[in-house]
Chain A
Amino acid sequence: MIEISSYHIQVLAFMGINIILAVSLNLINGFTGQFSLGHAGFMAIGAYTAAILTKACGWPFLLATLAGALLAFAFGLLLGIPILRLKGDYLAIATFGLSEIVRVAIVNFDDVTMKAATLVGLQDLVPKEITRGALGYPAIPEVKSLVWIYGWAFVTCLILRNIVRSSEGRAISSIGEDELAAESLGINTARYKTLSFAIGAFFAGVAGALFAHWVTYIKADLFKIDKSIEILLMVVLGGMGSLSGSVLGAVVLTLLPEYLRVFAQWRMVIYPILLILLMLTRPEGLLGRRELSTILGVLYTRAMGRGGPAPGNPPVAAE
C-alpha cells in the first residue's frame, strides 16, 4: 500500500487542473485546428478574478470561479474575433503576444487604474492594491478539495464531449480538417472559431480559479509562455483532436516531471529532450485523433475474434 501524503494529493490536484486545461485547449488546437499559445493568459484571468472576488469581496468559491471563467470567456470572445483571422504560425505568435500582454497588464494593473482614477478624480473610490503587481497575490482563501477539482474536470470533459458530438461540434471539427472546404460548404467559420476559442478560454478560467485557491498564492509570472507550452504538450502528447488523449496527456505529463525528480536539476534538461524525441518519432501523439473508447472497443472485438478494420483507422492501401 502506498501511503498517501499531502505531496501525492497535491500532484493529484495539479493533475486534475491540467486535465481541464488540456481538454479545453484541445477544443481550440485539436478540433478547431487553431494554434493557440495563449492558454495560460486565460488561466491567469480566471485565477486573478476569482482570487480577488473571494478574498477582497468575500464571494463564495463557486460563484467566484464562474465569474473568473466568464471573464475569460468574454476576453476570448472579444479577442478571438480579430485574432482568429490569422492562421498557423502567425496565430500562434499573436496568441503568445496576447498572453504576454495579459501578464504585463496584471503586473501594471494597480499603477494604471490608479493613474486613470486620478485623471477623472476618483482616486478615493479605487482601492490602491488590486492585483499587487509583480509581488504576487497572497493569502487567497484556501479551497483544497479534490472533489471540486475533479468535479470540474468531469464537467469539462462532459460538456466538451457533448459539444464535439453536437452539430456545432461537427462544424468545428470540419474547420479543423480543412478550413477552406468548411467555408465553401457554408459554415460560418469565423463564428465557430471564435466560439470554440471562447469556450476553451472559459475552462482555462475555471482551471485558473481552482489553481489559485489551491496554492493560495499566485503571481503573474506563473502564467508565462512556459505554462502555455506545458498545456500544449499535453494536448500534443495525447493526440490532437482526442479528448481522452488529452486526459491521458495531462496525466502523463503531470506525473513525468515528478518521476524525473530523481534527476534533480537535470530534470528540466531531460524533459525537452523527451519532447523533441516525441515530435520526431510520433508527431501525431499517443492516440492520434482516436478516442480511448474506440481503441478499447477495437481491441475488445479483436479479442472476441470478430476482427475487421478498426473504425477511424482505415487499412493502409497497398503500396
Chain B
Amino acid sequence: MSEFIQQLINGIALGSIYGLIAVGYTIVYGILGLINFAHGEIYMMGTFSAFLAVQFAKSKFGWEMGFFPALLIGMLGAAVLGVAIERIAYRPLRAKSAVPAVMLGLIGGGAAFMLLGGIMGHAGVHFGNPLALFVSTSVSSSSAVEKVEGAQIPALVSLAVWAMLAFGVYRLSKEKLAQRKKLKAGTLTALLTALGVSLLLQNLGIQMFGATPKSFPPLVEFYPYEFGSIILANQDMLIFGAMVVSMVVLQLIIYKTKIGKAMRAVAVDQDAARLMGVRLDFTISCAFAIGSSLAAIAGVLYAIRYTKIDPLMGALPGAKAFVAAVLGGIGNIPGAVVGGLIMGVTEALVVGYVSSTLRDAFAFGILILILLVKPTGLMGSNQPEKV
C-alpha cells in the first residue's frame, strides 16, 4: 500500500508537469485549431533560458540566482520564443499580409540569437555555439576563437543562412503578397510547418547547447518529509502547488480580464470576434505567450526535480502532454490538467508495477484508446461535422 501511495505521489508530480504543458497545447488549439508541435521545444528552450540566466549571473556577477528570478526569466524566454514562432511560422499560414512582419521577425530573431550567443561568449559561457565565438571575437578580441579551431567558418555559414532566409522571405513578401487572397492553409500544411519548427528548434538547441545533458542547478534543495515509509519531497509539493496556482491565475485571466474575454471570443468564432473589434493577431500572440510561459514553468520545475536537461528533453514530454490534452478534450483547459494528472499517475504506476521500458507504449496506447472510444476527450464537447 505504501508503495502504491509513493507511486501516486510521483505520478501526481509528473502529471502536474504534463498538465502544465498540455494547457499550452489546448489554449493554442482552442483558438487556432492548430496542433503546435513545437510546444515541447518551447518547454525545452524556456528551461534552457532559465539555465543560461543562472549560469550567466553566476559567472559574470557572482550572483547565485534564486528560484523565482530564474523561473521568471525562463517564462519570459519561452513567451518571447512562442510569440516569435507564431509570427514567423504560423501567422503567414492564415494571414493575408504579415509577411513584412515575418521578415522583421526573422532578421530580429537572427540578431537576438547572435546577440545572445555574443553575450554568452563574452561571459565565458560556451555551449559549442559557433555564433557565440563569432560575435565575441567581433565585439572584443577575446581569445575565444583560439579555443575552437575553424570557428569562423560556421559563423560565416550561419550568416549566409540568415541572409538566405531574409532573401527568401523578401521574395515571398514581394511576389506572393499581391495575388494571395486569404490562404486557407490545410491541416497538413499547418501541421508540417509546426513539425518543421519543432525540428528546427531541436537542432538549434543541439548546436547552441550541445547534445550532452547538463546538470540544472538545485534552485530548490531537495528536502524529504517522511511519513512512515512514504517520502514526500518538497519539490513534488512545489510542482503540484505551482500547477494549482498557475491554473487559478489562468482561470482568472481567462474569465476576469479583457484579453481573456477576447481569447474566448476568438475560440468561438474568429471572424465574428474580429467584426466585434477584437484584435485577432494580438489575442493569438497572447495565447501563445501564456501557453509558452506555462510550459517554461513546467520545464524549470522538471529540471529542478529531475536535475538533467538536454536539447531533446521536450520531445517526449511534449508528445505525452499532447496525449493529455487530447485525453481531457482538446480545447478544454481543466480537461488538460485532468488529462495530465491521469497520464502522470498511469505512467508512474506502469513504471512501478509493470516495466519502466513500457511507459511510452502505455502513454500512446491510452491515446489510441481514447481516440477510438471518445475522440472528443473526457471533457470535450461534441461538434457535428459540417459540410
Chain A residues at the B interface, C-beta cutoff of 8 Å: 29, 35, 82-83, 85-86, 88-90, 92-94, 96-98, 100-101, 104-105, 107-108, 111, 180, 226, 229, 232-233, 236, 240, 263-266, 268-273, 275-277, 279-281, 283
Complex interface bits, B354-376 against A, C-beta within 8 A gives 1, otherwise 0: 01011011001101100110010
A240 surroundings in chain B (CB, below 8 A) = 188
Shortest C-beta distance, A263 to chain B (Å), equals 5
Whether the Cβ atoms of B368 and A108 lie closer than 8 Å is: no
Whether the Cβ atoms of B193 and A280 lie closer than 8 Å is: yes
B367 surroundings in chain A (CB, below 8 A) = 93-94, 97
Q: Which of B92, B203, B372 contacts A85 (CB 8 A)?
A: B372
CA distance A280 to B193 in the complex (A): 8
A to B CB contacts below 8 Å, 8 in the list: A89-B35, A89-B187, A97-B323, A101-B364, A273-B196, A275-B199, A276-B200, A279-B192
Given the known interface contacts A271-B199, A272-B197, A283-B189, the answer about A277 and B168 at a Cβ–Cβ threshold of 8 Å is yes
A93-B371, A97-B367, A275-B192 known, 20 other contacts, Cβ within 8 Å = A35-B191, A83-B368, A83-B372, A88-B187, A93-B323, A97-B323, A97-B368, A104-B357, A104-B364, A108-B355, A108-B358, A111-B355, A111-B357, A263-B157, A266-B158, A273-B161, A276-B196, A277-B172, A280-B102, A280-B172
Given the known interface contacts A35-B187, A105-B361, A279-B192, the answer about A98 and B204 at a Cβ–Cβ threshold of 8 Å is no
Complex interface bits, B173-208 against A, C-beta within 8 A gives 1, otherwise 0: 000100000010111110111011101100110110
B375 surroundings in chain A (CB, below 8 A) = 86, 90
A236 surroundings in chain B (CB, below 8 A) = 188, 192
Given the known interface contacts A93-B322, A233-B192, A266-B207, the answer about A101 and B157 at a Cβ–Cβ threshold of 8 Å is no
CA distance A94 to B319 in the complex (A): 11
Q: Which of B186, B199, B204, B368 contacts A229 (CB 8 A)?
A: B199
B203 surroundings in chain A (CB, below 8 A) = 268-269, 271-272
Interface size class of B (residues with CB under 8 A): 35 or more
Q: Which of A92, A101, A277 contacts B191 (CB 8 A)?
A: A92
Whether the Cβ atoms of A101 and B365 lie closer than 8 Å is: yes
CA distance A83 to B364 in the complex (A): 13
B93 surroundings in chain A (CB, below 8 A) = 279-280
Q: Cβ of B326 < 8 Å from any Cβ of A? A: yes
Q: Cβ of B250 < 8 Å from any Cβ of A? A: no
B1 surroundings in chain A (CB, below 8 A) = none
